[in-house]
Amino acid sequence: MTSSSRRAEETELVVVPARYLGRWIAAVVVVGILAMLVYGMFANERFHWDVVGQYLFAKPVLAGLGRTLMLTAISMLIGIGLGIVVAVCRLSANPILSTAAWAYSWFFRGTPLMVQLLFWFFLAALIPNIGIGVPFGPELLSIDTNSVISPFTAALLGLSLNEGAYMGEIVRSGIRAIPPGQTEAAKAIGMSRLQTMRRVILPQAMRVIIPPTGNETIGMLKYTSLVIVIGYSELLTSVSIIYSRNFQTIPLLIVAAIWYLAVTAVLSVCQYFVERHFERGFTPVKGRKPAAPAAAAAVPGTGAGASPSIEPELEPSK
């Protein structure tokens, strides 16, 4: 068989795509389950979608949503600040600082968040008055603990201190992901430890820190619902007050779930753009070919589109 006839047969071949029967079966099962769920949600009158629409934009619900967002933002800001401090102390050569930071992380990660919230709310039972003065000396100012620890203060303390312990581990992992040569190079040009951390290490570590921080922010949004145990009127507390009056429990819980899902979707989009911003310089841009090295482009015959150079043949030695 000649090469020309072989090429003719190859051109006449019909390429049949592979059939993945398992994928089609799984897709049909998933679509069927989704269809049944959607049908059940809208066919079941006990969902009371009219009640959901009535209270979705009610003033008490929107006020609770605003307090949820405020508590989430403030707790995350404090938690991130504490996390940076804890991470730096954990990596410190000072054994006292590293041990204290480890103990902080161990305690707040080892106790349930609800227990911490209740502890801060009932702090007056342990410390009736908060005194300010000379250590082991006279007391200059005394404040009633109940006047200081309000439900909002207790919620803020519990959420932010707990978040600081987790953020400390996230920041520490991001810092340790940077090669030690970066620190050595910064020291070689005369940077102090603080300058190295602020200008060299942390900007590069953000690529590792941002994804789990975004997840922690979304988690914090949902953790704020735990403050219902101390009576702070956030989103879940607001809807619980309403359904305790009209006994429409399921529709009001659906209202809260819709708002949690909506805010989570917005935070997820924001997280995507922030991650893409800090990925610049580490991930190649899609659809763009990497540029040829300057050294290779400078050599004749090695640049893009250049024809290979023909070297002269050497005569064999006699």
What is the per-residue pLDDT across 194-208, written as a single tens digit (0 to 9) for each?
888 888 888 888 888
Distance CA 264, CA 218 (A): 6
Choice among 65-69, 131-135, 142-146, 282-286 with the minimum mean pLDDT: 282-286
Residue 314 has pLDDT above 80, yes or no: no
Residue 239 has pLDDT above 50, yes or no: yes
Residue 311 has pLDDT above 60, yes or no: no
For 48, phi and psi rounded to 5 degrees?
A: 50, 65
Q: Which residue has the tokens 């004749």?
A: 300
pLDDT of residue 128: 85
Residue 258 has pLDDT above 80, yes or no: yes
**pLDDT digits over 45-86, tens only?**
888 899 999 999 999 999 999 999 999 999 999 999 999 999
Residue 241 has pLDDT above 50, yes or no: yes
DSSP state of 131: E
Residue 224 and residue 155 in contact, taking contact as beta carbons nearer than 8 Å: yes
Distance CA 170, CA 215 (A): 11
Does this model's pTM top 0.85? no
**pLDDT digits over 84-133, tens only?**
999 989 988 899 999 999 999 999 999 999 999 999 999 988 888 887 77
Choice among 123-127, 187-191, 264-268, 306-310 with the minimum mean pLDDT: 306-310
**pLDDT digits over 29-39, tens only?**
999 999 999 98
Distance CA 93, CA 281 (A): 32
Q: 10 Å Cβ neighbour count for 7?
A: 10
Q: What is the mean pLDDT of the segment spanning 210-221?
A: 93
Q: Which residue has the higher pLDDT, 259 or 284?
A: 259
Q: Which residue has the tokens 């938690």?
A: 79
Residue 312 has pLDDT above 60, yes or no: no
pLDDT of residue 284: 58
pLDDT of residue 21: 86
Distance CA 185, CA 242 (A): 61
Residue 291 has pLDDT above 80, yes or no: no
Helix (H/G/I), strand (E/B), else coil: 139: strand
Band (8; pLDDT cuts 50, 70, 90)? low
pLDDT of residue 282: 64
Distance CA 119, CA 97 (A): 26
Q: What mean pLDDT value characterizes the chain? A: 84
Residue 25 has pLDDT above 70, yes or no: yes
Distance CA 110, CA 114 (A): 12
Distance CA 226, CA 116 (A): 11
Residue 55 CA, chain-centre distance (Å), reads 30
Residue 73 amino acid letter: A
